Amino acid sequence: MSSTSPSLMRADRSRALLVRRQLSDRLATGFGWVAMAVVVWMLGSILWTLLRNGLPGLSVHLFTRSMAPPGQDGGLANAIVGDILQTGLGVLLGAPAGLLTGIFLAEYGANNKLARMVRFVSDMLLSAPSILIGLFIYMIMVAPVGHFSGFSGSVALAILAMPIVVRTTEDMLRLVPVSMREAGIALGAPKWRVILFICLRAVRGGVMTGILLAVARVAGETAPLLFTSLGNSEWSLDMSRPMASLPVAIYQYAGSAYQDWMQQAWSGALLVTFGVLIINIVVRVGTRGGRA
């Protein structure tokens, strides 16, 4: 009897432990489902609100006419083109710089004081309010020359995009196994070739995701553009002059008392949201095909 009692006690403890673990697992799974449902509901509500209020304003005039006074049946063509130009140039300026910085931090910054300082500055920029970035660019690029410009707006957007690409690139490269680097070096490849043709190729999907996050961040920024490119109700492709953009147009129109301007603000918000969504889908499908 004394030899079986400890066994029975251990079995009872094992069953009790199994029950507690199953209960904890079910609770954690339930909380996960609830959190997912809340997030999906919030995203669905935002998209439904944009569709309900923005679709009625979509028309040919919205894409072919410039911004106009209330009641003049204007559009957002100049704001759309200006937003594409400024966001595109901002990403072209910020993404390569962020990519190279992320490579430096991941591959050469293990015990480097300069790397620690660069990482600290990048983290500070990542959390800095966008309005401060806009004010900084205003002080160094707008105030000295005395006029606003689309190029200064692109520089402000590049500064906002760069730390996102830096952090994503560094984190992705750190996930590459050391054995892959050692295999490339063992075959006689220099380190820069190993980084470029092995490491970056292995994590290109994550790096592209980081660039897309940067696009999503800067595509809807308004505050830095108010200090830099200001906005323009006329057609302007000159990056050295004030230039219209969708976020600024939405900001101006959403707070107005005119129904047609408010409608165009909803339509512009819908265009920004679905533009970023389409870019994400296209790049994800492309990177998936590349991995296959």
List the one residue out of 94, 111, 219, 105 whose CA is nearest residue 169: 105
Distances (CA, A) of 10 to 5, 7, 18, 187: 9, 5, 12, 56
Domain boundaries, the chain: 5-57, 61-291
Confidence of residue 1 (pLDDT cuts 50, 70, 90): very low
Q: Could you read off the pLDDT of 214-224 as tens digits, one per residue?
A: 998 898 899 99
Q: Considering the domain delimited by 61-291, tell me its CATH architecture.
A: Orthogonal Bundle (1.10)
Q: Could you read off the pLDDT of 194-210 as tens digits, one per residue?
A: 999 999 999 988 898 88
Distances (CA, A) of 231 to 63, 74, 249, 251: 17, 16, 8, 11
Amino acid at 78: N
Output the pTM of the full model: 0.85
Q: How much is the average pLDDT of 146-162?
A: 95
Confidence of residue 292 (pLDDT cuts 50, 70, 90): very low
